[in-house]
Every structure is written in structure tokens, then in C-alpha cells.
């Protein structure tokens, strides 16, 4: 088995159908398997997979085990030497899987790679990032600083906004919406950290891979469309809370923080939640 495609789903039946169709409509030339881990959806997602895509391996959870936990379930069920993690709101273009698999086969040093992601309107989606620091964590894509001052240097640097998205290149890390990983990386550094229930598990995984000596590459010749955040639209507050909590866990885990810095970080994240959630809620309602 060359490639195991692993998709974690939570109440995104329509998007999941489109994602799976993009695999079956343009199946990769290499040997592959598709594994769907459903995190206790109540929208009929599992039934849809059984009926419309019976060739897919379906793992049905009775409770929501979190994104990282479900990813690990998929890894344990997989047999491929290459693992392609795909969000259900991603549509893979023809040849995307082959491009990534061929790149990994030809280059021994990369442990992780990702394709060019497009927004539904065709614009390039910023899918590469610098690793978060105590400064740039407050200047991310959804931060107020970036919303009101999108050209500020800290946000642009963290989001790799000035990256040339037309060339193959090594990056700090790539977003996990569509990410190919060599199995030997998992064998070396372990599974996704299930302490992250939602968000930042991809950042953490890439960070550990880089520390273990594996490089991470952006491969623009593979293309996918990412709708972004489909499952989170109905749980906006939970989504923001989870992201901030996961980011705090990342800093505590990987950076040496004294008690004063930890306290300041907690205060900063709480303040961010108190400001970002109301402001974004107003913007979304408008």
C-alpha cells in the first residue's frame, strides 16, 4: 500500500461527500486506501459514507474523541507508507496525490509536505506558517491586529504572506488541512498529541518532526481547494476557545516559560478571547 488517505469528519456530510468524490473521480495511479474516522456525527455522515463510498474504511466513534485522537485512529488502521491527512472541507484536484507521493519518493530528506491550497474563489490560501512565538501568537490570521492592520510586519512574517507560492521550498510548518507524512516520521516521533482536542495538533506535529531532523516542504504542483472551517461555523465560540487553549498548551509544552511569563500568557490569551469573540461575532452578524 503506497498511500493511506485519512479523513476525520464531524457533522460535515455535504463537504465530506465532495471530498470523497474528488478522490474517487480522479483516483491516484498508485495503490491507495481511504479511511474515514467519524467523530460521532449526528448529520448522517456515516450513513452517507456507507452508501455512497462503500470502498472506504469507516471508523465510527460513539463519542467525539477530538481531532488528534481521531487522526491517530486512522493511522492505526492504515497500511500505507505515506499518510495523507485531508480535512473533509478539502477537494483534491486531479493528480494532487501523485504529485505529493512522487515528491516524497524522490526526496529522502523531507518527512512532511503539503500542496498549494486555494480558496473556493481560486485565490491562493496561505497554508505555510512560521512557528509561533510569544510575540507573533497575537498576530495570527484571525487576530484583531491582522484584521485591522493586515499589512503589519509581524502578521505577514508569521503567516508567510510574502512567500513565493509558485516554487517548491522548505518551510517551518504547513497547515494540516492537507498534509502528507512519511510513516517513518510517525514511527520516529510518535502519533499526534491527543492533549490537543482541537487545533494546533498540526503545529505540534510539525514542530516535533523538525526537532527530530525531518524537513517540511511546500509543493505547489499539487493543488487542492480548501473551504476552511466548515465544521466550526456552528460552534464559533467553542472554536475560538479551543484554539487559544491549544496554543497555550503548545507554548507550555515546547518553550521554557517561567511562572511570570506563563501568567502573562494566560492573561493575554484571556484578553484576546474577551475581545476577539465579541468583535468577530459582530462582524459575522453584519
pLDDT tens digit string along 218-261? 999 999 999 986 655 556 677 778 888 898 899 999 998 888 88
* List of domains in the chain: 3-230 (3.90.550.10)
pLDDT score recorded for residue 15: 97
If phi > 0 it is left, if psi is from -120 to 50 it is alpha, else beta; for residue 58 that is beta
Most distant CA atoms of the chain, gap in Å = 55
pLDDT of amino acid 166? 97
pLDDT tens track for 83-108: 999 999 999 999 999 999 999 999 99
Written as nine digits, the cell of 100 is: 505529493
pLDDT digits (tens, 9 = 90+) for 143-183: 556 566 677 787 788 888 899 999 999 999 999 999 999 99
* DSSP letters spanning 210-258: HHTT-EEEEEEEEEEEE---GGGTT-HHHHHHHHHHHHHHHHHHHS---
Q: In which band, very low, low, confident or very high, does the pLDDT at 1 lie, cut at 50, 70 and 90?
A: low
Give the pLDDT score at 8. Answer: 98
CA of residue 268 relative to chain centroid, distance = 25
User: CA–CA separation, 31 vs 242, rounded Å?
Assistant: 36
Nearby residues of 16 by Cβ (< 8 Å), 6 or more positions away: 7, 9, 36, 45, 48, 49, 88
Lowest mean pLDDT across 116-120, 222-226, 272-276 = 272-276
Give dist(CA 249, CA 242) in Å, integer: 11
- At residue 194, does pLDDT exceed 90? yes
Mean pLDDT, the chain, rounded, equals: 90
Amino acid at each position: 500500500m503506497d498511500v493511506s488517505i485519512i479523513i476525520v469528519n464531524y457533522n460535515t456530510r455535504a463537504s465530506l461527500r465532495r471530498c470523497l468524490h474528488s478522490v474517487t473521480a480522479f483516483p491516484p495511479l498508485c495503490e491507495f486506501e481511504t479511511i474515514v474516522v467519524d467523530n460521532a456525527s449526528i448529520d448522517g455522515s456515516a450513513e452517507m459514507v456507507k452508501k455512497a463510498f462503500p470502498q472506504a474504511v469507516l471508523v465510527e466513534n460513539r463519542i467525539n474523541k477530538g481531532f488528534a485522537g481521531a487522526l491517530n485512529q486512522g493511522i492505526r488502521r492504515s497500511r500505507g507508507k505515506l499518510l495523507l491527512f485531508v480535512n473533509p472541507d478539502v477537494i483534491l484536484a486531479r493528480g494532487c496525490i501523485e504529485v505529493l507521493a512522487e515528491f516524497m519518493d524522490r526526496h529522502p530528506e523531507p518527512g512532511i509536505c503539503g500542496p498549494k491550497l486555494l480558496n473556493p474563489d481560486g485565490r491562493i490560501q496561505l497554508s505555510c506558517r512560521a512557528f509561533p512565538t510569544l510575540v507573533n501568537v497575537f498576530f495570527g490570521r484571525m487576530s484583531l491586529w491582522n484584521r485591522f492592520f493586515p499589512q503589519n510586519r509581524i502578521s505577514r512574517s508569521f503567516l508567510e504572506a510574502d512567500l513565493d507560492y509558485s516554487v517548491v521550498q522548505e518551510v517551518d510548518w504547513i497547515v494540516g488541512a492537507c498534509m502528507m507524512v512519511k510513516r517513518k516520521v510517525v514511527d520516529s516521533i510518535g502519533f499526534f498529541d491527543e492533549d490537543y482536542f482541537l487545533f494546533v495538533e498540526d503545529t505540534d506535529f510539525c514542530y516535533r518532526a523538525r526537532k527530530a531532523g525531518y524537513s517540511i516542504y511546500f509543493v505547489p504542483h499539487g493543488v487542492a481547494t480548501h473551504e476552511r472551517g466548515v465544521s466550526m461555523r456552528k460552534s464559533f465560540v467553542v472554536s475560538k476557545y479551543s484554539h487559544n487553549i491549544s496554543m497555550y498548551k503548545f507554548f507550555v509544552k515546547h518553550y521554557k516559560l517561567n511562572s511570570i511569563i506563563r501568567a502573562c500568557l494566560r492573561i493575554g490569551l484571556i484578553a484576546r478571547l474577551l475581545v476577539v469573540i465579541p468583535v468577530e461575532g459582530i462582524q459575522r452578524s453584519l
